[in-house]
Amino acid sequence: MNENCKVERCYNRKNTSLVGYVETTWDEINEIFGPIAEECRVSGGDKSHNDWEFLINGEPVFIYDYKEGAWYNRATPITFHVGGKSIQALFELMCVGFKTSQVLTHSDYREKLFANFKA
């Protein structure tokens, strides 16, 4: 993790929503965030199985496996959803060590998802 990034547990999801996506694995989340990753992981609800709740440089950042099902393992790369108060949450993920190619805005995600479809 980048030493210039302050990461702590976030307890307040109020006024947050989906701001983008991160293509990664559970193992990589643990590798990038280190020991605090397990402290920040909570069991998901009815639509996700695993959530991580971080405060990165004062910005709330939530990573969750929305409707992925319980089938994936820790090494399976999936597209996790990212919640926050603004798109700044995506920049904070890059600050801690995710590559820019892994962090997707809504339009990046749609473009990638529909790239093979022709009109």
Residues 33-50 have pLDDT tens digits of: 988 888 888 776 667 778
What is the C-alpha separation between 74 and 30, in angstroms, rounded?
10
Report which secondary-structure segment, H or E, holds 113.
Answer: helix 106-113
Coil, helix or strand for 74?
coil
Do 105 and 94 contact (CB within 8 A), yes or no?
A: no
What is the C-alpha separation between 10 and 23, in angstroms, rounded?
21
pLDDT tens per residue, range 66-90: 877 656 677 888 899 999 999 999 9
pLDDT computed for residue 70 by the predictor:
59
Going by pLDDT thresholds of 50, 70 and 90, the confidence category of residue 105 is very high
pLDDT computed for residue 1 by the predictor:
67
